[in-house]
Structure 1
Amino acid sequence: MPSEERTAMPHVEVHLPISAPAAVAWEAVSRLEDYATYMRNVESVAVLGETEDGTRTSAWSVLLKGSVLEWVEEDELDHERRVMTFTQVSGDLDEFTGYWRVDAEGDRASVVVMSVDFEIGIPLLADMLNPVAARALQENCEHMLRAIEQRVTVGS
């Protein structure tokens, strides 16, 4: 019986402690439309639509190692738990899903987490491309979180 083994999607997760209350960090994380103004690797994010239940659609253009990646995602915001999950609905990658989460660490500190699973969509080159893409995405996530950190801690 032939086995059709499918390798697990590459996974990237970044945790960054921030010296700001969770509510302040969450405000910055959940305001996607501001990202391009202070994240050097984000060319644009446009919120295309939003429902009252906290679901929105956003269009992204991001620089990743000299290449522009573009996609549209559906975001689900849970303000109470400070979690924003996202799923690509169209775009350059075959699959792109994950979440942002802000955890309180006492009254004056928080940890921002960004977790991403992705599939490039080129099975024959996956073994070669996935590790390179994972490293690039890891660096990109770190830059985004550090930009949020700088935005919420300036003047603190």
Structure 2
Amino acid sequence: MQTVSVTKDLRAPIGRLWDLLLDVERFADYMSDVEWIKVLDVRDDVRTAEWSVILRGSILRWSEKGRVDPSRHRIDFEQLDGDLSVFQGEWLLTDLGGGLTRASLRIEFEIGIPLMARMLDPIARESLRTNTSRMLEELEQRACAPEE
């Protein structure tokens, strides 16, 4: 299994960033790599959603179950169905004080084509790292923009 982890200190309060993370259907409004997200169901702390993102010029689609933990500002997710064999990970926000928040996004994945893994894994890993970094940057920009 391959892992991509990106952590950035964002100049935005944790409450604002958390609210944005919970409003995933609006990601496409301000995240350039997100084509669309549709929340299918929310029950207690579990959210089921379908995602479509642009990854290195290709469309990657999946449905996922996310466990939302507001007390820890954490969302753990795992793919239910989709283009990859495995796609799971977590969003985590940590309040650093003074309006600064550490945001982490970790993704574990398997492409699911064993004979091609040696060639495709490094490309997918770098593409996901770029995509993940951009998502965190765009999340910070949105958090700092005037609220609509």
TM-score range (shorter-chain normalised) is: over 0.9
Counterparts of 1:20 and 1:41, CA distance in 2: 21
Greater strand content: 2
* Structure 2 SS opposite 1:85: strand
How far apart are residue 25 of structure 1 and its match? 1.2
- The answer to whether the 8 A contact 1:43-1:62 is kept is yes
Cα shift readout 1:106-147 (whole Å, capped 9, x = no counterpart): 141101100000000000111111011000000000111111
Over the matched positions of the two proteins, sequence identity in percent amounts to: 38
How many residue pairs match? The answer is 147
Letter in 2 for 1:18: L
- Which one of the candidate residues 101, 105, 115 is aligned to 1:110? 101
Matched, 1:74 2:65: yes
Counterparts of 2:117 and 2:8, CA distance in 1: 29
RMSD: 1.2
Q: What runs of 5+ residues in structure 2 fail to find an aligned partner?
A: none
Counterparts of 1:87 and 1:149, CA distance in 2: 24
Runs of 4+ off more than 3 Å: none
Q: What runs of 5+ residues in structure 1 fail to find an aligned partner?
A: 1-8
Matched, 1:100 2:91: yes
Counterparts of 2:7 and 2:34, CA distance in 1: 19
Structure 1 partner of 2:36: 44
Matched, 1:143 2:134: yes
How far apart are residue 103 of structure 1 and its match? 0.5
Structure 2 partner of 1:21: 13
- The answer to whether the 8 A contact 1:62-1:70 is kept is yes
For the pair shown, the structure with the greater C-alpha radius of gyration is: 1
Give the TM-score, by structure 2 length: 0.96
How far apart are residue 154 of structure 1 and its match? 2.4
Counterparts of 1:107 and 1:30, CA distance in 2: 22
Counterparts of 1:19 and 1:39, CA distance in 2: 17
* Structure 1 SS opposite 2:97: coil
